[in-house]
Amino acid sequence: MGSFLIIFVPIAAFLINAFLQIGICRWTATGLIKSIMYGFSAGAVALVALHLLIVPAAVKGDLRDTVFYFIGNGAIYVAAGYLYFQVVNLGEASIRFRILRELRRYPNGASQVVIDERYNDQLILRTRLTRLTNNGQVRFENGVYRLQASTLLIASQFLTFMRRFLIGKSSEFDD
Amino acid sequence: MWVVVTSLGMLCGAVLFHWALWRWRVPTRTIPVLISIFTAGLIVLLSALAMHDTSQFLFDLVYATMIYVPWAIAYITTYTAIDSDSPTLSLVGEMARRTDRSMTEADLEAFIAARPFVQSRLQQLERGGLMIRENGMLRATGGSIFIVNVFDVYRRVIGRGTHGG
C-alpha cells in the first residue's frame, strides 16, 4: 500500500497543473501558452512538495529509493505535462483539426474549392506570421518582415537536423 | 531503483532502435512502425520486470508502464513534426537562413507557393482514414468528427473559440 502512494505524487501534480491551467485560461486575460507554463510550474512545485512529504516514508527512509523515485516521478510528470501541452496545441494550431472542423460543416461532403475558400495556405502562413509579429518574434518594417531573437528558432533548427538525420530531407516538401 | 532504471533504459533502447532502422530504411508507414517498436519495447520491459523477483511486482508493473507509455506517446507525437513541417517553424527557419534574416512580401508569396500545407494534410487525413474522398467531394469520417468534438469541449471549457488552425 505504501508503494502505491508513490504513484499518487505525479498524478496529483499533473491534476494541479491541468486544473490551474484551465482556471488561468478561463478566468484571467493570460494567454494560452503562459497559462500552460504557469500550470506546469505550479504542478512541478507540487510534485517536489508531495514527493518530500510522501515518498521517504513510503520507502522507509531509503535515500537511494527516494532519489530514484524522484527521477521516476519527475519523468512521469514531465511526460504528462508535455502530452497535455500537445493536446492543447492540437486544438489551437493543428491544420488537420482545422480542416476537419471545416468539413464538419458539410455532412454530405464539400469540394476542395469550397475548403480552399475557407482555409488555405495563405491563411495558414499569414495567421502564423501575425502571431509571430504580435509576440515580437518578427518585426514588420519598411515592407520587410525581419526575424528578431526567437526561441522558436532553436526548435526549428533541431527539427531540421533530426529530419535530415532520420529521413534525409530538410522539409517534407523537398523532393 | 530497478524499475526506474529499466523503464528509462528501455525507452532509450526503443529510440536508438528507431534511429538505426530509419537510417537503414525509412518505412512507408512511419507511425504504425513506430507504434510497433514502442509496443515491443513495452512488452520486453514488462517481461523483464516479471522475471525479476520482487515483493512489489504489481507496483513495479504499474510504475514502469506509467514511466514508459507517456514518454513513448510523447516521442511518437513529436516525431509527427519530423514527418510534417510546422508552418511556424518553417517560416522562422526560412527567415533565419537568409543573410539579413528578413523576407519581403514577394519572398513570402514564393515561400507560401512552395509549401502546399493544406493539400499535404488532406492526403494525410485520407491515408489515415479520417477523411473520405468520393466523386471529388471530401467528407470527414464519423470517428474524426467525434475526436474534433471532444477537443472542442476542452476549448469551450477554457473559454476559447472552436476555430483554431
Q: Which chain B residue lies closest to A11 (C-alpha atoms)?
A: B66
Q: How far apart are CA B3 and CA A35, in angstroms?
A: 33
- Give the closest of A75, A103, A122 to B139, CB-based: A103
Q: Do B70 and A119 touch (CB under 8 A)?
A: no
Domain edges within chain B = 2-83, 87-157
Q: How far apart are CA B153 and CA B150, in angstroms?
A: 5
Percentage, residues of chain B above pLDDT 70? 96
Q: How far apart are CA B160 and CA B165, in angstroms?
A: 13
CB atoms within 10 A of CB B105: 10
Q: pLDDT by residue (tens digit) across B62-106? A: 999 999 999 999 999 999 888 889 999 999 999 999 988 999 999
Q: Do B165 and A127 touch (CB under 8 A)?
A: yes
The residues that bridge with B72 in the sheet, in sequence order, are none
pLDDT at B165: 62
Q: How far apart are CA B80 and CA B30, in angstroms?
A: 9
Q: pLDDT by residue (tens digit) across A93-117? A: 889 989 999 999 998 999 989 999 9
Looking at this predicted complex, what is its ipTM? 0.84
Average pLDDT value for residue range B108-127: 92
Question: Cell 528578431 belongs to which residue?
Answer: A148
Report whether pLDDT(B46) > 80: yes
| Mean of all residue pLDDT scores within chain B | 90
Q: Which parts of chain A have pLDDT scores under 70?
A: 1-2
pLDDT at B40: 97
Report whether pLDDT(B15) > 90: yes
DSSP secondary structure, B116-148, as one string: -HHHHHHHHHHHTTSEEEETTEEEE-HHHHHHH
Report whether pLDDT(B162) > 80: no
pLDDT at A2: 47
CB burial readout A108-146, b (16+ within 10 A) else e:
ebbeeebbeeebbbeebbebbbeebeeeebbeeeeeebe
pLDDT tier for residue B164 given thresholds of 50, 70 and 90? low
Average pLDDT value for residue range B48-52: 87
pLDDT at B163: 61
Q: How far is B23 from chain A (nearest CA, A)?
A: 6
